[in-house]
């Protein structure tokens, strides 16, 4: 066959048959292109839970900030990340119908693979921006919580250095993701003529997962070291420590991404493994949102306890106790006290929540003997 014959383009009928066929050959020769099996029954509930949790904790943070009217650099980063997160949620849901989560590549028609790739490409870029903004906001917030105002120590310098590393990592990967393929639309369109890509997506995904895992563990270790160095009762240390340990779930998600990224490199089933990694990225991002907002949860508890509704219920219960009614026989109001929501140390709570009544002279001492203002 001559080269001229080899270059003959396919007929419209042949092209239509090709586009309606599978993206890659099936390893067992079986195809299910119509209503293929997928993992939407897992992905949609997980995405919904992430959506609800992030909404709840963002509202907690916004309430605390608005009530105290105290803002810092982490709040400006949060203000950018918050709307982007909901765009990210939208594209995560969109993946469930274009064509679905955890769907095998050979069960996707060739004509539909570009829609899947487009959603994944957009979601990846959003993830890189959001995760950098939120992680830097967390570190800056922790510097504000744990480092005396106007001072610097190893915690602040390591936090700032980690912020720089996270920012550079995200900027580099974001730029690589944009400049990877030419023409530009071939970043997501595998059928684009004269397509040329500089980097392999599986290698890109693995590098991203590894670096992100390393950068996840640094803030966790930093926070735990500071918390357990405070001269507080161990019970209170444990309570504060648990609040900050929500990040372990995010770290676990990042490690699972590394596991699936390794499998992604060695498998042609791109759609299956990439969608799992995308779902893990969403879980990680949601955990960072919770970590950013959870220090302000005591503010909501305190406000509820001071609300007219709570005080009215408490007064009614106390009145019933005094008159012998309602079957309350506890002494000294122990019924109400035992049913109050738990609090950590009040000065610590105020410091965590930036309460307007906080006194900056309230101090806790570290093992080194230096007194650190936390209020």
Distance CA 245, CA 223 (A): 9
d(CA 329, CA 324) in angstroms, rounded, equals: 7
Summarize pLDDT for 197-247 with one digit per residue, the tens.
888 888 888 888 888 888 888 777 877 777 777 777 777 777 777 766 777
Which position has the token pair 């049913």? 339
Domains and CATH numbers, the chain: 36-300 (1.20.1070)
Q: Who's near 294: CB < 8 A, 6+ residues apart?
A: 57, 60, 243, 244, 246
Does this model's pTM top 0.85? My answer is no
| DSSP conformation letters of 35-101 | S---SHHHHHHHHHHHHHHHHHHHHHHHHHHHHHT---HHHHHHHHHHHHHHHHHHHHHHHTTTT-T
Structure tokens at 370: 């230096």
Confidence of residue 135 (pLDDT cuts 50, 70, 90): very high
Under a CB-based contact definition with an 8 Å cutoff, are residues 93 and 44 in contact? yes
Give the number of residues written for the chain.
375
Query: Residues of the chain with pLDDT > 70: what percent?
Result: 78
Token reading at 234: 């161990």
**Which tens digit of pLDDT belongs to each residue from 45-100?**
999 999 999 999 999 998 888 887 888 889 999 999 999 999 999 999 999 888 88
């Amino acid at each position: 066959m001559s080269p001229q014959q080899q270059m003959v383009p396919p007929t419209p009928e042949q092209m239509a048959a090709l586009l309606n066929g599978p993206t890659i050959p099936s390893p067992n020769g079986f195809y299910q292109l119509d209503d293929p099996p997928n993992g939407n029954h897992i992905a949609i509930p997980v995405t919904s839970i992430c959506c609800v949790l992030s909404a709840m904790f963002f509202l907690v943070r916004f309430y605390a900030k608005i009530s105290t009217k105290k803002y810092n650099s982490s709040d400006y980063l949060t203000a950018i990340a918050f709307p982007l997160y909901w765009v990210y949620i939208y594209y995560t849901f969109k993946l469930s119908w274009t064509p679905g989560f955890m769907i095998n590549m050979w069960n996707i028609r060739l004509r539909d693979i570009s829609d899947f790739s487009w959603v994944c490409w957009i979601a990846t870029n959003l993830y890189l921006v959001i995760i950098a903004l939120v992680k830097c906001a967390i570190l800056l917030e922790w510097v504000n919580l744990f480092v005396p105002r106007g001072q610097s120590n190893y915690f602040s310098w390591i936090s700032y250095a980690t912020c720089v590393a996270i920012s550079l990592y995200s900027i580099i990967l974001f730029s690589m993701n944009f400049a990877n393929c030419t023409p530009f639309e071939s970043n997501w369109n595998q059928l684009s003529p004269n397509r040329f890509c500089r980097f392999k997506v599986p290698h890109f995904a693995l590098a991203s997962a590894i670096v992100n895992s390393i950068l996840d563990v640094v803030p966790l270790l930093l926070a735990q070291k500071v918390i357990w160095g405070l001269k507080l009762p161990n019970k209170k240390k444990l309570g504060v420590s648990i609040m900050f340990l929500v990040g372990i779930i995010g770290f676990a998600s990042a490690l699972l991404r590394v596991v699936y990224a390794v499998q992604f490199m060695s498998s042609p089933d791109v759609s299956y493994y990439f969608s799992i990694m995308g779902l893990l990225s969403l879980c990680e991002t949601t955990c960072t949102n919770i970590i950013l907002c959870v220090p302000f949860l005591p503010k909501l508890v305190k406000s509820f306890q001071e609300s007219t509704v709570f005080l009215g219920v408490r007064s009614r219960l106390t009145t019933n106790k005094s008159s012998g009614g309602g079957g309350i026989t506890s002494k000294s109001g122990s019924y109400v006290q035992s049913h109050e929501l738990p609090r950590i140390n009040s000065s610590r709570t105020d410091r965590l929540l930036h309460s307007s009544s906080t006194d900056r002279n309230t101090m806790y001492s570290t093992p080194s003997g230096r007194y650190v203002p936390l209020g």
